[in-house]
Structure 1
Amino acid sequence: MLQGWRLQISRCFIIPQRYVLGIMGFFAIVNAYTMRVSLSLAITEMVVPIKTAEYYDPDACIPEENSRNNSAIKDQTTLYEWDEKTQGLILSSFYWGYVITHLPGGILAEKFGGKYSLGLGILSTAIFTLITPFVIVATGGNWKALVALRVIEGFGEGTTYPALTALLAKWVPLRERATIGSLVYAGSQFGTILSNLISGELIRYTEDWASVFYFFGGLGVVWFIFWVFLCYSDPESHPYMSDNEREYLQKELASVSTEKPPIPWKDIFTSVPVWALVITQVGHDWGFFTMVTDLPKYMKDVLKFNVSQNGMWSSVPYIVMWFTSLGSGWLCDLLVRKNIMSLTFSRKFFTSIASMGPAVFILVASYVGCDRMLAVWMFTIAMGFMGCYYCGMKVNALDLSPNFAGTLMAIINGLGATSGIVTPYLAGALTEDHTLKQWRLVFWITFGVFAVTNLIYLIFGTGNVQKWNDPEYNKNKKDGKEQKIENGTRYEDQKF
């Protein structure tokens, strides 16, 4: 009877359960980024308008007639005197907590499954996002209270990528890895699009920055309800997937251990490919977080867009990035499947496009002066190229070690996210006068970080499975035995 009930439910799903997981994983990152990024645009309307007479910028853009509104907020008592350095600290504080919970999140996801590690993390962030306006108003705009709240939100979201990577390792076959992985990780662009686009319009219509936090916090709670009922940590625990899909996944994922093997910490931390991936992640996050947290400020302070225009034009680059990430994921899988590119070459090829494309065009955007639309298109082209990251280095942790993918992603994404701590504060410190030349220096630094980190990945990166991925290898190594593993998988184990 139970089997019949499961069969009936499984027939209700038109698409396979691994794609259901992929779609819900996509929306998990969408929600994570809307809650993370919403402050980047909202903060431009939470502070007392800049008095331009305090400094002189010979390159300053002249606001258009319909952009001369200093503030979209009706109640001016809810505006706060936070200088650029303070705003930088507020924007970076999320990543203080975000970095800390990566490793625990990855370990918990591999040990107990990624379902609740991911779900509860998003739910906690949603709750603290909902109460953000209450905390700010109750403390009279005390920026330290907001910083503390953002750190706690970061704690919740720190489990997101490690848990999702552990889930993908259990659910996604190698031949579908770039496609589904790119779909899931592309949620970061879609979340940024929604956050910028909707935030600008919400603030304009409600004349209140608090509406942003209520809206996106509420969406996070709704996602959690669907997640609990639709998704499971692995195919074995899924109660109503089809027998055909279950058999297919058992065959395709035979190399992924169903046991909970001890994590080979020494091998991981002495692995050259792992550290190459960490450095590349730092480079990617440096560029991405610079754009995510600071593009709305550049749009307002330098290009002089009002809040509605800011939200719209800040979202355009991520629309292109989203389509690029999906298309490049499909193309990458096709090239590898047809043996046109090796897995390692494809990872390096697409990562290089995603590094040097943004490096060049973000810099060019700062040299087009006050041609607003040309600047927007330069930023758009830059972020379009960045979409290739997700079929490049972003899924590379799955290649190196499917069995420890959650832990690897925790290490790689966690250390990479330290860029999120540095970039907002650095941008704030370097742009205290809001001048175009000050922002140009920020973009030159970004160019250098992209170039150096990509070069390191080209030299030391790989798409080959590492020997320490195999539980038997680790067991025999611990016992002092040598064993040659011949299962058709190519192993590589570069170490320092």
Structure 2
Amino acid sequence: MLTGWRLHVSKLFLIPQRYVLGVMGFLAIVNAYTMRVTLSVAITEMVEPSKASTHYDPDSCPGSLANTSSVTNSDKLYPWTSTQQGLILSSFYWGYVITHIPGGMIAERFGGKYSLGLGILCTAIFTFITPFVIYASDGHWGWVVFVRVIEGLGEGTTFPALNVLLAQWVPLHERSKIGTLVFAGSQIGTVAGNAISGALISVTQDWASVFYVFGALAILWVFLWMVLCYPDPETHPFISDEEKEYLRKHIAHVTRKKRQVPWYSIMTSAPVLALIAAQIGHDWGFFTMVTDLPKYMKDVLKFNVAQNGVWSSVPYIFMWLVSMTSGWVCDHLVAKRYLSVTLARKIFTTIASMGPAIFIIAASYSGCDRDLAVVMFTIAMSFMGSFYCGMKVNALDLAPNFAGTLMAIVNGIGAITGIIVPYLVGALTEDHTLMQWRVVFWIAFGVFAVTNLIFVVFASGEVQSWNEDLTDQKEMDLRKEQSAEKA
């Protein structure tokens, strides 16, 4: 009777369950990024206007800050310095880095469903209560740092858990498409976080509104996730027999047997180290844009909060479009054997590194031409969209059995740049001048170039030998010998 009921329910799901998981994974990252980046816009309306700088800048844009004065009531503005703002923006990543490896190991052992859901729930709750903490502490920046650290701890499990789920659910020939769909949620989350935050603050004249809205939406997602998604096809009660058999046939190199992580092999693997380098390069450039672009838009280009939210989000719309298109193109080229998996990962990662490096610099030399600067930033971030089918899914290529741990290592080390970049930008741009920001962008260019070179030389798209269990391999070899002797 129970089997018949499950069969009946499975017929109600016209969409294959791996695509349901892909869509919900996409929404997980959308929510994660809205909660992560919303402070980047909100903080421009939480801080008391800075006094006019006496620093000479021959490239300074004309006009005053009257156009960019805060819409928030003065009693909700705080005297945070540029360096303190950098610490506040970076503090999220202090917690984010810590939970990556534990989150990946927990996801591999118990499945990614609960580690992902509970992590997002933690971030959602602390996002929602952020205004209350700030009000209660009378705007002490140290308490804001504390809340952001806790949010980061919750969100640190996101990518490792999703990688484990993708390894269990997605065949190789669909990996770029579905992987790109899921991971491209970062662009949509950034777009929504920037655009909606700017509009909400402008309408409500209260920066607190964005924390309430995005925290509540993430809590709603957690409820739907717990109802709709499962750790693997074997435990899904409503999956069709056809899809389950299809996934059994096409998902290779993945076992549900609990095994020890080959730490030495991972940390001495040239392809893994190359992947870490590429992640550092991407994250350095991406966090420079995500965390600090709204500040650049306000301090240098003189956008008001509503304009800031819109124009800070435009580059990520195009980045998302390119990421989705490049995922399909990459899968097609690999499936038709026009490119090997290794070469495809290297080519698309290079596009995602050097394109942004060049056009971010071009944006800084656009001077006070706001339209041209937005166009240059948009082109830069568009190129970055091919990163997802390049190196972001590469951990699945190298070791699907340790996808969570490997993603945790790579993403966790890359996320250290999230600690460094906002603080460095804050320290380098105390006077809010175009010349100081140009230094920031040249540093990003150098990091992009060096890390991409390392990836091109040492990266691989092949399953590594340490992905397999040597004991199981010996048993298989012994059985083959025994069968041969009997024959």
Task: Give the shorter-chain TM-score range.
Answer: over 0.9
Change (3 A) 1:485 1:364: farther
Q: Where does residue 494 of structure 1 map in the other structure?
A: none
**Aligned-partner SS, 1:13:** coil
**Aligned partners of 1:253 and 1:391: how far apart in 2?**
18
Asked if the contact 1:90–1:147 (Cα under 8 Å) also holds between the matched residues in 2, the reply is: yes
Among candidates 170, 178, 190, match of residue 192 of structure 1: 190
Q: Where does residue 278 of structure 2 map in the other structure?
A: 280
The reply to whether residue 72 of structure 1 matches residue 74 of structure 2 is no
Q: Where does residue 139 of structure 2 map in the other structure?
A: 141
Q: Which amino acid in structure 2 is aligned with residue 262 of structure 1?
A: Q
Change (3 A) 1:149 1:485: farther
Q: CA deviation at 1:254?
A: 3.9
Among candidates 348, 351, 355, match of residue 350 of structure 1: 348
Q: Where does residue 407 of structure 1 map in the other structure?
A: 405
Alignment of 1:34-433 (within 5 A): 34-52=34-52, 54-63=54-63, 68-73=67-72, 75-433=73-431
Change (3 A) 1:254 1:394: closer
Gaps of 5+ in 2: 481-487
Q: Which amino acid in structure 1 is aligned with residue 427 of structure 2?
A: A
Q: CA deviation at 1:58?
A: 3.0
**Aligned partners of 1:63 and 1:474: how far apart in 2?**
71
Which is worse superposed, 50-59 or 436-445?
50-59
**Aligned partners of 2:64 and 2:136: how far apart in 1?**
36
Q: Which amino acid in structure 1 is aligned with residue 39 of structure 2?
A: L
**Aligned partners of 1:421 and 1:177: how far apart in 2?**
30
Asked if the contact 2:169–2:232 (Cα under 8 Å) also holds between the matched residues in 1, the reply is: yes
Q: CA deviation at 1:55?
A: 4.0
**Aligned-partner SS, 1:417:** helix
Q: CA deviation at 1:59?
A: 1.9
**Aligned partners of 1:144 and 1:432: how far apart in 2?**
20
**Aligned-partner SS, 1:72:** coil
**Aligned partners of 2:264 and 2:472: how far apart in 1?**
14
**Aligned-partner SS, 1:35:** helix
**Aligned partners of 1:111 and 1:11: how far apart in 2?**
31
Q: Where does residue 492 of structure 1 map in the other structure?
A: none
Gaps of 5+ in 1: 487-496
Q: CA deviation at 1:378?
A: 0.2
Give % identity: 66
Asked if the contact 2:175–2:393 (Cα under 8 Å) also holds between the matched residues in 1, the reply is: yes
TM-score (norm: length of structure 2): 0.96
Asked if the contact 2:92–2:148 (Cα under 8 Å) also holds between the matched residues in 1, the reply is: yes
Per-residue CA deviation, residues 62-96 of structure 1 (Å, 9 max, x unaligned), is: 3499x7141111x2111001111000000000000
Which is worse superposed, 262-271 or 96-105?
262-271
Q: CA deviation at 1:140?
A: 0.6
Asked if the contact 2:68–2:303 (Cα under 8 Å) also holds between the matched residues in 1, the reply is: no
Q: Which amino acid in structure 2 is aligned with residue 286 of structure 1?
A: W
Asked if the contact 1:396–1:463 (Cα under 8 Å) also holds between the matched residues in 2, the reply is: yes
**Aligned partners of 1:186 and 1:240: how far apart in 2?**
27
**Aligned partners of 2:50 and 2:471: how far apart in 1?**
60
Q: CA deviation at 1:485?
A: 12
Per-residue CA deviation, residues 2-30 of structure 1 (Å, 9 max, x unaligned), is: 11211221122121000000000000000
Per-residue CA deviation, residues 407-463 of structure 1 (Å, 9 max, x unaligned), is: 000000000000100000000000000000000000000000000000000000000
Q: Where does residue 10 of structure 2 map in the other structure?
A: 10
**Aligned partners of 2:61 and 2:284: how far apart in 1?**
27
Q: Which amino acid in structure 2 is aligned with residue 364 of structure 1?
A: A
Q: State the Cα RMSD in Å.
A: 1.6
TM-score (norm: length of structure 1): 0.95
Asked if the contact 1:97–1:151 (Cα under 8 Å) also holds between the matched residues in 2, the reply is: yes
Per-residue CA deviation, residues 294-337 of structure 1 (Å, 9 max, x unaligned), is: 00000000000000000000000000000100000000000000
Q: CA deviation at 1:280?
A: 0.8
Change (3 A) 1:152 1:485: farther
**Aligned partners of 1:123 and 1:76: how far apart in 2?**
32
Q: Which amino acid in structure 2 is aligned with residue 25 of structure 1?
A: G
**Aligned partners of 1:238 and 1:203: how far apart in 2?**
42
Change (3 A) 1:53 1:354: closer
Q: Which amino acid in structure 2 is aligned with residue 7 of structure 1?
A: L
Asked if the contact 2:53–2:431 (Cα under 8 Å) also holds between the matched residues in 1, the reply is: no
**Aligned-partner SS, 1:133:** helix
Asked if the contact 1:63–1:305 (Cα under 8 Å) also holds between the matched residues in 2, the reply is: no
Q: Where does residue 29 of structure 1 map in the other structure?
A: 29
**Aligned-partner SS, 1:392:** helix
**Aligned partners of 1:483 and 1:53: how far apart in 2?**
73
**Aligned-partner SS, 1:393:** helix
Q: CA deviation at 1:484?
A: 10
Q: Where does residue 467 of structure 2 map in the other structure?
A: 469
Asked if the contact 1:468–1:474 (Cα under 8 Å) also holds between the matched residues in 2, the reply is: no
**Aligned partners of 1:25 and 1:376: how far apart in 2?**
30
Asked if the contact 1:347–1:463 (Cα under 8 Å) also holds between the matched residues in 2, the reply is: yes
Change (3 A) 1:308 1:76: same
Change (3 A) 1:63 1:314: farther
Change (3 A) 1:303 1:485: farther
Change (3 A) 1:315 1:63: farther
Asked if the contact 2:160–2:404 (Cα under 8 Å) also holds between the matched residues in 1, the reply is: yes
Q: CA deviation at 1:54?
A: 4.4
Asked if the contact 1:62–1:304 (Cα under 8 Å) also holds between the matched residues in 2, the reply is: no
Change (3 A) 1:283 1:352: same
Q: CA deviation at 1:474?
A: 5.6
Q: CA deviation at 1:56?
A: 4.2
**Aligned partners of 1:274 and 1:171: how far apart in 2?**
23
Q: Which amino acid in structure 1 is aligned with residue 13 of structure 2?
A: F
Q: Where does residue 454 of structure 1 map in the other structure?
A: 452
Change (3 A) 1:290 1:320: same
**Aligned partners of 1:159 and 1:470: how far apart in 2?**
24
Q: Which amino acid in structure 2 is aligned with residue 46 of structure 1?
A: M
Q: CA deviation at 1:256?
A: 1.0
**Aligned-partner SS, 2:173:** helix
Per-residue CA deviation, residues 321-371 of structure 1 (Å, 9 max, x unaligned), is: 001000000000000000110000000000000000000000100001100
